[in-house]
Structure 1
Amino acid sequence: MSRVLVTGSNDGIGAEIARVLTAQGHEVIRHARNAERADGPGYVLGDLGSLRSTRVLTEQVLRVGAPDVVVHNAGWGSKDETRPVTEDGLEKTFQINALAPLLITALLPKPDRIVFVSSDSITRGRIRLDDLQHEQEWTQDAAYADSKLVMAALAFALARRWPDVRSNAVHPGWVSTKMSGYAAPLTVAQGADTPVWLAGSDDPEALVTGTFFQDRKAIELNPQAYDHALQDAVLAQCLELCDAALP
């Protein structure tokens, strides 16, 4: 069994991922933004919209023990009509969905597996190296789709950089949660199924790297995610923004 860090595991898909992995016998490190959001003791706490807080979160994880598996589940989408900026001066959607997972990954020892919970919104996403944070033009939808596309590109860049690590991305589906809305057709159990499978299964189909999954099947949604030169450029720019280096 493995030690697994699941970010954003106080509710929604993340809570279900953590519950199922625990039931399977894994040691799960649960994460919440703050103590008020944790539904019990034993959580690591940290706001992914803050580089300082994300570093503190990672220090807490290391005190528990370096995880064998990291599931980057936490996500955020703005409900406002104006471009949100964090205390670090970064666009908030980009920081939480793409930059924070990379920073956590960079600060931890290399795990055996990394699962990035992305979105099929990347089909309408576009990576613009000259404007990753939408300083020139910002909308809620574009910021979210592009941040999830950057996340997928980072997952595949890590897969190439670390061939001994299984680094994959997954679209969980349109799941009925507080974030996605309760009109969505899928349950949290359905949304958690593929991330859980990638995190812990020994099925040959799960023991791959650099792949995007939906319903336990490999899919391709946006060619930019697979562009090696673009992956490397995004990785370098993101590492510079969070002042980190890969182990």
Structure 2
Amino acid sequence: MSLILVTGASSGLGLATASELADRGHDVVLHARNAARLEKLDACVRMRGVVLGDLAHPDETASVAEQANEFGHFDAVVHNAGTMNGSDAIEVNVLAPYLLTASMPQPRRAIFLSSSMHHSGHPDLDPVLTGRGGSYSDSKLLVTTLALALSARHPHLLSHAVDPGWVPTRMGGPSATDDLAQGHRTQTWLATAAEDEIDPRTGGYWHHRSPRQPHPTALDPVFQEQLLDALRTRTGLALPHTGGAA
């Protein structure tokens, strides 16, 4: 069984992902923004443990990484946490996944939550560098690029981006038209399936377990490196240079 971290897992797709993985016998560490988010959350008893911190704040994200590292070397990290709040979109949706990636031993697998809205995002790195501006769509284009950049830089890492669909979670709202039950299944599959079942093995952009074509910018190796450079400059942290075991 695998040791798996799921961020933003106190509700919605994150909770569904963490719950299914735990039900399958995996050791799941559930991340929540704060302890209040866990009140009356029965799923916690099935988890290996819990880590707390608001990913909109880099110092708390660093604390989440420290707490997570106490559980050992993760087999997979599901970067599920996200927000549509424009003022926090870059920090939560892009900066936090990068900080966690740079602050933890590299897992075997990394899954990043994207969105079909990334297709309307702008490849602008100013919000990353300055901490100002950037829409939800922009953030999802950047995190998709991050997932594919990690795949290109570390071939042994199974790094993927997932569009879960427009599902009726608290974020998606009651008008969402996609199947809620399908919203988390690609993430759980990518985190645990045999490698020979996943095609492409790494560097995929997925929707309901089917590979799709991402925004062309996310596949551009020049922009991928520019994004990694911008994130390193903003955070002061570089990614590890070595990949996981073959």
Map of 2:35 onto structure 1: 35
Map of 1:143 onto structure 2: 135
How far is 1:199 from its partner?
A: 0.7
The answer to whether the 8 Å contact 1:6/1:17 transfers is yes
TM-score by length of 1: 0.89
Q: Which runs of 5+ in 2 are unaligned?
A: 241-246
Task: Please state if 1:55 is matched with 2:62.
Answer: yes
How far is 1:190 from its partner?
A: 1.1
How far is 1:148 from its partner?
A: 0.6
Cα RMSD, aligned residues only? 1.8
Provide the identity percentage: 40
Q: C-alpha offsets along residues 174-198 of structure 1, whole Å, 9 cap, x if unaligned?
A: 1111111022123432100111111
| Equivalent residue for 1:76, pick from 83, 86, 102 | 83
| 2:184 partner SS | helix
Task: Please state if 1:246 is matched with 2:239.
Answer: yes
Map of 2:153 onto structure 1: 161
* Distance in 1 between residues matched to 2:122 and 2:106, nearest whole Å: 29
The answer to whether the 8 Å contact 2:90/2:127 transfers is no
Letter in 1 for 2:218: A
Q: C-alpha offsets along residues 69-123 of structure 1, whole Å, 9 cap, x if unaligned?
A: 0000000012xxxx62xxxxxxx21010001001001111010000001100011
1:95-106 to structure 2, matched below 5 A, reads 95-106=91-102
Q: C-alpha offsets along residues 111-163 of structure 1, whole Å, 9 cap, x if unaligned?
A: 00000011000111111234547878x5xxx6000101100111111111111
| 1:43 partner SS | strand
* Distance in 1 between residues matched to 2:76 and 2:143, nearest whole Å: 17
- Distance 1:131-1:96 versus aligned 2 partners, 3 A rule: closer
Letter in 2 for 1:216: R
* Distance in 1 between residues matched to 2:182 and 2:110, nearest whole Å: 20
- Distance 1:185-1:239 versus aligned 2 partners, 3 A rule: same
- What is the number of equivalent residue pairs in this alignment? 232
Q: Please, which moves more after superposition, 108-117 or 60-69? A: 60-69
1:71-220 to structure 2, matched below 5 A, reads 71-78=78-85, 84=87, 92-132=88-128, 138=133, 143-202=135-194, 204-206=196-198, 208-220=201-213
| 1:95 partner SS | helix
* Distance in 1 between residues matched to 2:77 and 2:131, nearest whole Å: 30
How far is 1:164 from its partner?
A: 0.6
The answer to whether the 8 Å contact 1:176/1:184 transfers is yes
How far is 1:63 from its partner?
A: 1.0
* Distance in 1 between residues matched to 2:130 and 2:62, nearest whole Å: 25
How far is 1:204 from its partner?
A: 2.7
The answer to whether the 8 Å contact 1:103/1:239 transfers is no
* Distance in 2 between residues matched to 1:127 and 1:134, nearest whole Å: 15
* Distance in 2 between residues matched to 1:135 and 1:16, nearest whole Å: 31
Map of 2:52 onto structure 1: 45
Map of 1:87 onto structure 2: none
TM-score by length of 2: 0.89
Q: Please, which moves more after superposition, 104-113 or 200-209? A: 200-209
